[in-house]
Amino acid sequence: MKDKTSSTITSKQLIFVIIGSQIGAGIFALPRMVSGKAGEDAWISVVLGAIIPFLSVFLIERLGRRMPQMGFTQMALGLFGKNVGSVLIILFIAYVLLFESLVVRSFAEIANLYLLPKTPLAVVLLFITISIVYIGSKGVRVLARLNEILFYFGVLLLFILIIPVGQADYTNILPVGEAGLKGIARGALTTAYSFAGTEVLLVFYSLVNKQEEVLKAGLIAVCITTLLYLAMVITCLLVFGVNNLQRILWPGLMLLKVSQVPVLERLEFIFLVFWMGMGARPAVNMGFAASLSLSQLLKIDEKKYNTYALMFIALAIYILALLPHNLLSVFKLWDYAGYGFLIIGLGYPLLYHLAAFMRGGKMLV
Amino acid sequence: MFRRCVLLILLGIQLVMLAGCWDYRDVNRIDFPLAAAYDLHEVGLRALRDEANQEQLIDLAVILPNLAQNATLKFRIEKTTGVTVGNARGQKPYTSTGTYSPGATGIIIVGEDLAGTGLNNIFQALFRGALSPSIQNFAISEGRGDGILEAPVEDYLSMADYLKGILQKSERRGFIPATTLHNFEVWQGPGKNPIMPLIKQKNKKAEVTGTAIFKKDRMIGKANLTETRSLMLLRGIKATGNVAFTIKRNGIILDRGSVDASNKRKVKVERNGDDINFLIIVMLEGNLIEHQFGKLFTENENLQQMIESQIASDVKKDCYKFISKMQQEYRIDCIDISKYAVARWGKELEDKVDQEFIENVNIEVEVKMKLKNTGELT
Amino acid sequence: MKIRPRKTPPTADARDRSIKNIPDTKLPVALSEKMQLLKPYIEKNYDIITHSFYLEGNPRLEAVAVYINQVIDIEILNLHILKPLMLNCDREDLLTSGSHTLIETIYKTSITASRIAKIANLSSLVQTIFDGITILMFDGLDDVLAIDIHGGKSRNIDVPPAEQTMRGSREGFIERVDVNIALIRRRLRDPNLVVEKTLVGRRTRTEVAILYIDDIADPQIVQKVKDRINQMDIDGIVASGYVEQFIEDDPSSLFPQVYSSERPDKLVPYLLEGRVVIIVDNTPLALAVPALFVQFLQAPEDYYERTLFSSYIRLMRYVAWIVAVSLPASYIALLSYQPELLPYDLLISFSKARVAVPFPVVVEALIMEIIIQLVIEAGLRLPQQIGQTVGVVSGIILGQAAITAKLASPIVILIISVSVICTYALPASSLVLSTRIIRLPMMMLAASFGLFGLSFGAIIFLTHLVSLESMGVPYFSPLAPTRFSDLKDTFIRTFMWKMNKRPVSIPSHNPQRQGNTGEEND
């Protein structure tokens, strides 16, 4: 195959890459987490929470527009010099490792809970890691195409969510505004963490072929994610009510158990079978971004060694994912990953803008 | 080369796994219960078990199909006893072969005594298991639940089949509430209380005798069949069933007959200071099945209207009767109207809606009956 | 990640030398000397016939015709070349005016011999003889004439046995490349249709024709095809499959990346969409590149039948492919890992059916799968009548016996049979083969991890499909990358008059196909 890592993706595919990096296993737990903070007004929180990813996309896009030819690592090295720049890149990679290990771990926990209760977590994780490496080794174009087709699969799957709407009770989301500004804001922050994934644009910006369309693509992606989250949260609220939601570990999956479907009888397993591609997807995208940054940082031949860098990243994710004791500690760590998102998704572009402003167009390297 | 290595490693792992992995279960070694019954263990028998010092033991009876081709009986009933539901399941290996897959159970019968002690603790096991669906149908039995499973049935493969037919989607066949595990959970929200169908063993069969009224997870009362109808109508559970009418004028029976009616409801809530007024509008719509006194619709123009208003007033009377019983005897909201008040006034009501709320509100009922179709005869 | 190296093409020189070390000597004038030179190369071959004859004159001019028996049309040689030469040619004329007149003469006197060339050296003389071209040598003339009168027996144009249709042409390709090209030419009279010929194979020197429409096909793809064919350095090819394996992008993939067909009416629309068609001599199967995955699920009837019906059938084929790949695997996964997922009554009847079978579900399914695969293979090799018998016998008796012997449950026989039927409902034989193989790893994965394994297999295969390319064109388009304008001819087939643009998935530099607006002209 031709030039793998330096080949480009279209701005349309960028939409799917961003969506793919955002939606992971977290969507199933989101209704519980948001409604725990914002109660009946969880849906308002979801809408408000989308502001942060919008902001993140906007800032990163402006940054890319300022220096259109430069990749993420070049930018860091150019703006901050070799030492500080390297630290920034390593921090980014570390964040990806932490964040994606949590994504992968939650996904493995779901698979373990519903599909393979007795299989050791290490084995389930191994298979997820293998698919990460395999997909990533195919290069960015294949990654983008895969994100594209998985998105359509995902939309088809989310149609399944319509089935339990027959059980909905509209009084569950009334009265509006009960949680107050504080509750809604706290819920919005929780949602904002679930939007983590827009930072993938930092690396992917330089890979897009029509860079003037990046902003549009990014905004569309965040809009679609918001809509999907909104649909999930509202459906769960309508079907379960706030009080019940707090008792359910993965409300999004429980949703599939409440209605009887002729012939298939049970939906949640079918959903999970197809979810495999989608659950590992954020880890694939972000892992690829991290491996690209790593091989650029080490100044090794991207074409030749990107797969090895990816294997290293995947291995690190695998080991980190095995570390948390149980699901509870994973959920706790989610919050830290959320702060990480704020730092990487908002802090980094701001910092870069500042540095670029100070440097006035001159680069260090 | 790299790809070949990965392929080889994968193939190797595959071959190792093929021998049977952690989760492999032979389908013929799993017992899939058709129906299960939970009961409080009888006091006199406690001494028979090791856990005799426990305050409360639970009996679990399940109907399992016999798969072997030359088995004389189509099914068998296995009973175990344990401290909790899960523990009772866990006793199974000592008394029978096969692993137990509770997720397949479609029907769960709970004994009256057990229901009176509160069911949330019991149902934890059903909910927590990721393999169980939330669509299992529930019923409360008058008397012991395992008695119903043991009732000899001749026309059906087993009692479970019969119960499935009678309980699943029962509201489509008559005014019988169908309650699934999901319903039971959701109906315990603020201002809501679950109900369940009540069944009783009678003449080699089980029949529906009414409704069990719950205060949250604890059964506190029973409603008979007439009351069940009013309950269903007031609660707004969409059902279809037969409603009889008798039109009397000055002590003379003018007409008698029945309609198949489906219901809908609308609730309006208003508030004056601390007084809360509910208006429940029950809308019935149905087809005339029969009317006996040979009056022709073509000759009696207001006959249709008479039937409609007769049914409406009958139903309304029943509803008021039920509401007064609810407010005085059950003292909980089993017609699912408090949620509208909670939805309107939120936090302010949410905390007190479950304590002495329904007794002090004013409930008005309005019944509208519409005959859609009077059949082939005039 | 190419495993097979692509080298620079060997020069024509090197290729010729590699055949035999024939000296490049200029041919002498005297016939006996020519024969002397030629003798070592042809004397061992019984089938090379040297036919001496005399031309009129005084003394008579000696001439020799050299040809391979049954490769040329002996009728034409005798009637239209030798006879006129013997009767009409004069020694004096010939020797004074040289070979040029001779060619003129043959042109004028012979009807069929249309391609005549002069040969001046030994090495090309020998090669020409072995290429099946008739040689005429004259005493006193240093030029040797090569007349292309290929002939001999070949199969008649017949119904293609593997790709029959209800509607549409009954003609299938045969083993003669020029006939096959003619079959396409007859259907496509565009002056822009280019037919290029090259020789492939050091020893077999097989003719390979590359066809494309000049103003539609993407020049890059055409160039790529030519390059890859020219890079083939092989001593012999006897079928188009050889070429296919040399030009495909990923040889270790399970999926076919070159479309092959024996129907000219299938290839003409492909040419019109901007694809390149490769016809190899001695093979009734022509190749078309770039190939897309969806193309293997489409049949020519889709375009011959009316829209609604063909859309329905096409959707059914997608269902058939998914069922063929995943049904046995799902059965294994569901029964040995997630039985609760099945409806209760179905579960009990499955469970009852296999009460007596002592093996795990996977073993049972694998036994049946292997038996059926072998039955199919046996049926292919056996003569047609016996083949059918074997099919029936294995279908009924083996299945029944396996149930009675408690080797398999009736359900598993049903499952495997359904998946086999679905496999053969696919229109392209190359996809049938890959589907038969893919089923196995899916079954293995399902047997070791249940639905999780199935899902893992699905994502790996999906990634692989998405990453494949055929001549640099994404193989899984128009699905990924999604090309919405092409979806109207993917799962369904819209109305003919609506397909005004050529598919975007195949690069072409003339996107407009037709100009129908769908409105009636008053």
Task: Check which CATH number belongs to the domain holding A174 and give it.
Answer: 1.20.1740.10
Residue-wise pLDDT for B166-215, tens only, equals: 888 888 888 888 888 888 888 888 888 899 999 988 877 788 898 999 88
What whole-number distance in Å separates Cα of residue B207 and Cα of residue C51? 106
Looking at the predicted structure, is the pLDDT value of residue A224 above 60?
Answer: yes
Looking at the predicted structure, is the pLDDT value of residue C78 above 60?
Answer: yes
- Between chains, do B186 and A169 touch, taking CB under 8 Å as contact? yes
Contact call for residues B80 and B88 (beta carbons, < 8 A) = yes
Looking at the predicted structure, is the pLDDT value of residue C20 above 70?
Answer: no
Nearest to B23 among C252, C354, C450 (CB): C450
CA nearest B138: which of B288, B38, B281, B265? B38
**A6 within a domain of the structure (yes/no):** no
Q: Which of A157, A276, A278, A285 to substitute to test the interface with C, most C CBs within 10 Å?
A: A276
Question: What is chain A's length?
Answer: 365
Q: Is C449 on the interface with B (CB under 8 A)?
A: yes
**A175 within a domain of the structure (yes/no):** yes
- Between chains, do A257 and B182 touch, taking CB under 8 Å as contact? yes
pLDDT tier at C119, thresholds 50, 70, 90: confident
Residue-wise pLDDT for C314-366, tens only, equals: 999 999 999 999 999 999 998 888 888 888 888 888 888 888 888 888 888 98
- Give the list of residues 6+ apart from residue A326 with CB closer than 8 angstroms, or none: none
Burial class of residue B302 in the structure, from the number of CB atoms within 10 Å of its CB (0-12 exposed, 13-18 middle, 19+ buried): exposed
Per-residue pLDDT averaged across C228-250, rounded?
Answer: 88
Residue-wise pLDDT for C46-76, tens only, equals: 888 888 888 776 677 788 888 888 888 888 8
Given this model, what pLDDT does residue C323 score?
93
Q: Is C252 on the interface with B (CB under 8 A)?
A: yes
Interface of B with C (CB under 8 A): 3, 14, 17-18, 20-21, 23-28, 30, 32, 34, 65, 67-69, 101, 103-104, 106, 131
Rounded (5°) CA angle B149-B153-B159: 35
What whole-number distance in Å separates Cα of residue B190 and Cα of residue B354? 7
DSSP C479: T
**A213 within a domain of the structure (yes/no):** yes
DSSP C159: -
Phi, psi angle pair for C362, to nearest 5°: -65, -40
CA nearest B133: which of A201, C338, C398? C338
Q: Is the dihedral of CA C132, C138, C142, C147 positive or negative?
A: negative
CA distance B55 to chain C (A): 34
Domain count, chain A: 1
**A36 within a domain of the structure (yes/no):** yes
Q: Which residues of C touch B20 (CB under 8 A)?
A: 360
Looking at the predicted structure, is the pLDDT value of residue B143 above 90?
Answer: no
Give residue C242's identity as a one-letter amino acid code: Y
**A269 within a domain of the structure (yes/no):** yes
Q: How far is CA B186 from the centre of its chain?
A: 13
pLDDT tier at A365, thresholds 50, 70, 90: low
- Between chains, do C351 and B104 touch, taking CB under 8 Å as contact? no
CA distance B292 to chain A (A): 39
Give residue A24's identity as a one-letter amino acid code: G
Q: Is C300 on the interface with B (CB under 8 A)?
A: no
- First vs last Cα of chain C: how many Å apart? 58
Residue-wise pLDDT for C249-302, tens only, equals: 888 888 999 999 988 998 999 999 889 999 998 899 999 989 999 999 988 888
- Between chains, do A254 and B190 touch, taking CB under 8 Å as contact? no
What whole-number distance in Å separates Cα of residue C77 and Cα of residue C91? 20
Nearest to B27 among C350, C444, C447 (CB): C350
Q: Which long-range contacts link C313-316 to residues 24+ away (Cβ below 8 Å)?
A: C314/C491, C314/C492, C314/C493, C315/C491, C315/C492, C316/C425
What whole-number distance in Å separates Cα of residue C386 and Cα of residue C372? 16
Alpha helix positions (H), A67-179: 72-114, 121-137, 140-158
Q: Count of CB atoms within 10 A of residue B295's CB?
A: 15
Question: What is chain C's length?
Answer: 522
Q: Which residues pair with C207 in a beta bridge?
A: C199
Q: Which residues of C touch B28 (CB under 8 A)?
A: 351, 354-355
CA distance B65 to chain C (A): 8
Give residue B181's identity as a one-letter amino acid code: L
Q: How far is CA B231 from the centre of its chain?
A: 13
Q: Is B345 on the interface with A (CB under 8 A)?
A: yes
Give residue A305's identity as a one-letter amino acid code: Y
Average pLDDT, chain A: 85
**A361 within a domain of the structure (yes/no):** no
CA nearest A347: which of A246, A199, A225, A243? A199
Percent above pLDDT 70 for chain C: 89
What whole-number distance in Å separates Cα of residue C375 and Cα of residue C216? 45
Radius of gyration, alpha carbons of chain B: 26
What whole-number distance in Å separates Cα of residue A113 and Cα of residue A330? 15
Given this model, what pLDDT does residue C278 score?
94
Residue-wise pLDDT for A243-277, tens only, equals: 888 888 888 888 888 877 776 667 776 777 777 77
Least confident of A283-297, B35-49, B289-303: B35-49
Given this model, what pLDDT does residue C114 score?
64
- Give the list of residues 6+ apart from residue B91 with CB closer than 8 angstroms, or none: B80, B81, B82
Structural domains in chain B, sorted by start: 26-223 (no CATH), 237-378 (3.30.300.210)
Looking at the predicted structure, is the pLDDT value of residue B17 above 70?
Answer: no
Q: Which residues of C touch B131 (CB under 8 A)?
A: 340
What whole-number distance in Å separates Cα of residue C163 and Cα of residue C165? 7
Looking at the predicted structure, is the pLDDT value of residue C1 above 50?
Answer: no
Q: How far is CA C94 from the centre of its chain?
A: 47
| Domains in chain C: boundaries | 14-147, 177-302, 312-437
Contact call for residues C298 and C486 (beta carbons, < 8 A) = no
DSSP codes, C360-427? -HHHHHHHHHHHHHHHHHHHHHS-HHHHHHHHHIIIIIIHHHHHHTTSS-HHHHHHHHHHHHHHHTSS
Looking at the predicted structure, is the pLDDT value of residue B48 above 60?
Answer: no
Domain that holds residue A150: 11-354
**A202 within a domain of the structure (yes/no):** yes
Looking at the predicted structure, is the pLDDT value of residue C108 above 70?
Answer: no
CA distance A222 to chain C (A): 20
What is the enclosing helix (H) or strand (E) of C17?
helix C12-19
What whole-number distance in Å separates Cα of residue B190 and Cα of residue B341? 11
Per-residue pLDDT averaged across C198-211, rounded?
Answer: 89
Q: Which residues of A touch B131 (CB under 8 A)?
A: 114
pLDDT tier at C113, thresholds 50, 70, 90: low
Q: Is C275 on the interface with B (CB under 8 A)?
A: no
- Between chains, do B6 and A134 touch, taking CB under 8 Å as contact? yes
CA distance C30 to chain A (A): 58
Per-residue pLDDT averaged across C116-131, rounded?
Answer: 82
What whole-number distance in Å separates Cα of residue C354 and Cα of residue C367? 14
User: Per the structure block, which two tokens stand in for B209?
Assistant: 């005798």
Nearest chain B alpha carbon to A308: B2
Given this model, what pLDDT does residue B290 score?
86
Nearest chain A alpha carbon to B179: A258
Contact call for residues B190 and B342 (beta carbons, < 8 A) = yes
Given this model, what pLDDT does residue C287 score?
93
DSSP codes, B107-165? EEEEEHHHHHT-SHHHHHHHHH-TTS-S--EEEEESS-HHHHHHS--SSSSSHHHHHHH
What whole-number distance in Å separates Cα of residue C245 and Cα of residue B257? 82
What whole-number distance in Å separates Cα of residue C415 and Cα of residue C418? 5
Q: Which residues of A touch C454 (CB under 8 A)?
A: 273
User: Per the structure block, which two tokens stand in for B136?
Assistant: 């299992």
Give residue C211's identity as a one-letter amino acid code: L
Given this model, what pLDDT does residue C516 score?
67
Contact call for residues B293 and B256 (beta carbons, < 8 A) = yes
Q: Which of C342, C355, C448, C459 to substitute to test the interface with B, most B CBs within 10 Å?
A: C448
